[in-house]
Amino acid sequence: MTPDPRLGTRAVRRVIYSQPDIECRVEELGREITTAYPDGDLVLIGLLKGSVFFLTDLARHIRRPLQIDFLVAHSYGKGKVSSGEVRVRYEPSISLAGRHILVVEDIIDSGRTLGFLLDRLRSAGPKSLAVCALLDKRLGAPPPELRFVGFAAPPVFLVGYGLDHAEDFRHLPYIAEVD
């Protein structure tokens, strides 16, 4: 494999999903979401920072009016395993009551952080609440709100296309396992 200058001195063990694979699947998800929400107010809630690339590309493929807002919550820090403690740093600033809310997530691991956030969003009184995840590791039972999934993810630590390790690698246009 040719060295990727975006990695610096680190190496990719293997590319799991290439840039063309991701682009194709995100376009398909956009069509699915457009069909699933023919009317009503649709709000995409991106979980920062990991979802930012996925959310941006996905929104461009949804052919209907929508609004975008964000949640910032984390449970990882610098490790590769969740601490189990969810901390919320920013919540949506727009009203969610009576609207279709689609949470856009980069990856579902254990689902604990997502479950915590879905409970919080449910309390805002949305018309509907669903999740679109780029990757699902299938480590446990998926939340009932998981309606759209880009890819099944292998049980390895992944980076790229928003996924990071200690804030590195988010900018890679593919999803990979790193050494």
Residues designated catalytic: 109
Contact between 53 and 170 under an 8 Å Cβ cutoff? The reply is yes
Encoded amino acid at 118, one letter: L
Structure tokens at 103: 């949470």
DSSP track, 58-107:
HHHH--S--EEEEEEEES-TTSSS--S--EEEE---S--TTSEEEEEEEE
Pairing of strands 146-152, 128-136: parallel
Q: How far, in Å, CA of 91 to CA of 35, rounded?
A: 28
Cis bond upstream, residue 137 (ω within 30)? no
Question: Which residue bears the tokens 């995840």?
Answer: 133
Lookup: tokens for 152: 């099944």
User: Of 9, 51, 16, 3, which is closest to residue 156 (Cα–Cα)?
Assistant: 16
